[in-house]
Structures are given as C-alpha cells and as structure tokens.
Amino acid sequence: HVEVIMAVIWFISLFFKVAICFFVSAQGMSQLIKVQDYRIVTFPIGIFLFVLSFICIPSSMYLIHFINSTWLSYSVTYGLFFPLFLLAVELIRKRRKSHRVNGR
C-alpha cells in the first residue's frame, strides 16, 4: 500500500507544480501585454500549451529518446546554471544599488 500512497503524493505534487507554473505564466503574460486581469490570458495560454504539447512530443518513443539523450544537460542548464546566473545578477544589482545610496 506504500506504492499507492507514494503515487498519490506524486500526483498531488505534480498537479500543484503544473498549476503554479500555469498561474505564473498567466501573470507574466498579462504583465507583458499590460492587461489588468490575468484571467483573460488563461484560455489562450491553455490552448497554446495543449497544441504545443502535441507538436513538441509527438509520441511516447520520442519522449523516451529525449529523456535518455538530452534531459540531463537540459535540467542542469535550467535547474542549476540559470538560477545561479539570476542570483548573481541580483546580487550585483543590490551591490550597485547600495553603492549609489552610500554615495560611492
């Protein structure tokens, strides 16, 4: 019965990850096109992602090949290097801002 509990926990966590990413995408798109309410862009983004999922991953064999060949480099780039780069940029901005405030 442990497998069932683990599967339920995995499903719930996956649902929340997708929901949060979709919400953030809708918020970002609404700010990008300067729309006050993010709910206006949720339907177009949903349709776009639905169509894009069929274009990007046409079959399960393609998905398996993608995971085996490129997933490690993709996840390291976007899961490690890109966040570290953004953190470094933010630290540099804070340092420059504090230097301007202090009169240096």
Same domain, 87 and 74: yes
Across the chain, the runs of DSSP E, i.e. the strands, are none
Pair of tokens at residue 3: 């497998």
Write the pLDDT tens digit of every residue in 29-45. 999 999 999 999 999 99
Residue type, 7: A
- pLDDT at position 29 is 95
Residue owning tokens 């230097």: 99
- pLDDT at position 104 is 57
Eight-state DSSP code of residue 59: S
pTM: 0.62
**33-63 burial code (b ≥16 CB/10 A, e <16):** eeeeebeebbeebeeeeeeeeeeeeeeeeee
Could you list the residue range(s) of the whole structural domain that residue 13 is in?
1-56
Positions of the chain with pLDDT under 70: 103-104
- pLDDT at position 1 is 85
Same domain, 82 and 64: yes
Give the total number of structural domains in the chain.
2
Same domain, 66 and 38: no
Point out the domain boundary residue: 56, 71, 90: 56
Same domain, 63 and 87: yes
- pLDDT at position 74 is 87
